[in-house]
């Protein structure tokens, strides 16, 4: 491990728009378009959304800002940034946990991401035409428990490699600057289609008229946990991106833009999905199958449904791609800096490792697999352990690091770049020291409890 004093010039984001496209691209993912709508559906709609918004504001956003601060100040990968800011301490463990979480999330996330390619092809070729709803369910069950997802997963991973190849400015930034506006355009089209369907009002009511009787304790915990996952925080992704942010940027305002973009897209995904689901009289509480089973049924009944279906899965694909590259980057930045290899070699090593993990995850979904423990497949474990355990621990530790370990003037300095206000530091430190850690600790303990029940 080389600890050079003279750092070579580092890659970095070249514009504010590029930075926001990349970071919002990381945040906006399957979490927004696949998971958010179905957990809203399972938890009774709008009252849940309200709790989710509060979680984003009080916990997700402060953690996001903390990652940017540590990343930009540390100016290196997730492990080394902590080594620089707190030498000879155990805090770099946060970075290590992040790298473990990155492998775990990539393991299951790329499998679902691969589904989007298959479903895009099925939609555009009108393969659902004439199918009954049982056949659509069967199509999904057969596909997801077979071996075909492995091929799509590998294709998806290789497509991410294309984006990652050019580095930050000439890779991630270059592609996300085009992909993210495309994603917004598609979602707006889908929203217009959904809200102009006869009978759409009921779906909008489900989304926006709060019914607090539906709200359970587990819904609150789901909301908090999901705010972490959705903002890509708690595992060093935003920290790594933060290390590539120029000193000119105002981190607080960039963080707010990202949180707003992420929340807006999740809400728009809800508006694109629920009015259509209600308009065709389909159950909104379908769970994880909502997107791959319920929606093809919806598109089948809709005029021009195969085109809108294809657009929807393209949207899901773009969202997943821009998230997957950000998770990859945590590992690649680490490998290049700590093992002292060039980006190409780091990319090759990481890709091979991720392909192996993803194949194992995908195999754990097949029947008669031995890759299942305690009633959950390995695939489910990767999801549960990363979202319910590693992300909250990472978020909690980084808040404590910022609140109690990092020097106050360093935090103030990072916060005041590109902005005049110093008062924000005090407010921010109060949130980081007390409010956020408490909330995260509660979610974490309950999340752990749920895992072993
Ligand atoms: N935020 C992404 C989503 O909503 C997932 C993600 C989690 C990305 C953690 C990076 C890190 O789908």
Q: How far away, in angstroms, is 55 Cα from ligand 1 center?
A: 16
Lowest mean pLDDT among 23-32, 47-56, 63-72: 47-56
- Does residue 364's CB lie within 6 angstroms of at least one atom of ligand 1? no
Report d(CA 198, CA 367) in Å as an integer.
41
Q: Which residue has the higher pLDDT, 82 or 34?
A: 82
- Does residue 26's CB lie within 6 angstroms of at least one atom of ligand 1? yes
Angle, CA of 336, 338 and 343, to the nearest 5°: 5
Question: pLDDT (tens digit, 9 = 90+) per residue, 348-375?
Answer: 999 999 999 999 999 998 887 777 777 7
Atom of ligand 1 nearest to the CA of 327: 10
pLDDT of residue 416: 81
Q: At what angle do helices 343-363 and 305-338 cross, to 10 degrees?
A: 130
pLDDT of residue 451: 63
What percentage of the chain exceeds 70 in pLDDT?
95
Grade residue 1 by pLDDT with cuts at 50, 70 and 90.
very low
Largest CA distance in the chain: 66
**Could you tell me where the beta strands, DSSP code E, fall in 301-374?**
372-373
Average pLDDT over the chain, rounded to an integer:
89
Where in the chain are the domains? 15-451
Q: Which residue has the higher pLDDT, 423 or 269?
A: 269
Question: pLDDT (tens digit, 9 = 90+) per residue, 256-266?
Answer: 999 999 999 99
pLDDT of residue 341: 95
Q: How far away, in angstroms, is 5 Cα from ligand 1 center?
A: 33
Please check whether residue 362 is in contact with residue 269, taking contact to mean a CB–CB distance below 8 angstroms: no
Q: How far away, in angstroms, is 327 Cα from ligand 1 center?
A: 8
Angle, CA of 250, 238 and 320, to the nearest 5°: 120
- Which structure tokens are listed for 401? 């690091």
57: Cβ contacts below 8 Å, ≥ 6 apart: 259
- Mutation pick for ligand 1 pocket among 98, 232, 383 (CB with most ligand atoms within 8 Å): 232
210: Cβ contacts below 8 Å, ≥ 6 apart: 45, 46, 47, 50
User: What CATH class does 15-451 carry?
Assistant: mainly alpha
Report d(CA 372, CA 351) in Å as an integer.
24
- Phi and psi, residue 342, nearest 5°: -75, 170
Q: Whose CA is nearest to atom 9 of ligand 1?
A: 232
Mean pLDDT of 213-241: 88
pTM for this entry: 0.92
Report d(CA 123, CA 141) in Å as an integer.
17
Question: pLDDT (tens digit, 9 = 90+) per residue, 107-152?
Answer: 999 999 999 999 999 999 999 999 988 899 899 999 998 999 999 9
């Amino acid at each position: 491990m080389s600890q050079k004093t003279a750092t070579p010039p580092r890659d970095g984001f070249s514009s504010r728009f590029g930075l926001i496209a990349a970071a919002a691209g990381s945040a906006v993912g399957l979490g927004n378009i696949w998971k958010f709508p179905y957990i809203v559906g399972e938890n009774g709609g709008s009252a849940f959304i309200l709790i989710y918004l509060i979680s984003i504001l009080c916990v997700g956003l402060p953690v996001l800002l903390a990652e940017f601060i540590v990343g930009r100040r540390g100016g290196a990968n997730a492990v080394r940034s902590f080594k620089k800011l707190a030498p000879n301490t155990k805090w770099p463990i946060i970075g290590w946990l992040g790298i473990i979480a990155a492998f775990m999330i990539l393991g299951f996330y790329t499998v679902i991401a691969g589904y989007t390619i298959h479903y895009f092809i099925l939609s555009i070729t009108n393969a659902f035409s004439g199918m009954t709803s049982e056949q659509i369910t069967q199509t999904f069950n057969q596909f997801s428990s077979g071996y075909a997802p492995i091929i799509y997963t590998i294709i998806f991973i290789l497509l991410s490699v294309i984006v990652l190849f050019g580095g930050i400015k000439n890779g991630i930034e270059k592609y996300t600057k085009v992909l993210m506006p495309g994603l917004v355009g598609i979602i707006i089209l889908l929203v217009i289609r959904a809200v102009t369907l006869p009978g759409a009002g009921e779906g909008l009511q489900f989304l926006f008229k709060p019914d607090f009787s539906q709200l359970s304790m587990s819904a609150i915990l789901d909301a908090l946990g999901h705010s972490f996952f959705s903002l890509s925080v708690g595992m060093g992704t935003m920290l790594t991106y933060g290390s590539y942010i120029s000193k000119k940027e105002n981190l607080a305002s960039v963080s707010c833009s990202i949180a707003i973009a992420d929340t807006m897209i999740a809400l728009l995904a809800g508006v694109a999905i629920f009015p259509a689901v209600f308009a065709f009289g389909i159950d909104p509480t379908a769970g994880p199958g909502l997107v791959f089973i319920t929606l093809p049924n919806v598109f089948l009944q809709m005029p021009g449904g195969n085109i809108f279906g294809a657009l929807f899965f393209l949207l899901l694909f773009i969202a997943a791609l821009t998230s997957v590259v950000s998770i990859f980057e945590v590992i690649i930045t680490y490998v290049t800096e700590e093992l002292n290899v060039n980006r190409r070699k780091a990319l090759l090593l990481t890709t091979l490792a991720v392909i192996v993990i993803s194949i194992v995850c995908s195999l754990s979904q097949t029947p008669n697999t031995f890759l299942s423990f305690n009633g959950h497949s390995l695939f489910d474990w990767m999801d549960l352990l990363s979202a319910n355990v590693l992300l909250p621990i990472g978020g909690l530790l980084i808040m404590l690091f910022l609140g109690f370990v990092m020097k106050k003037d360093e935090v103030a300095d990072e916060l005041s770049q590109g902005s005049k206000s110093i008062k924000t530091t005090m407010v921010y430190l109060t949130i980081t020291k007390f409010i956020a850690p408490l909330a995260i600790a509660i979610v974490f303990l309950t999340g752990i409890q749920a895992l072993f029940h």
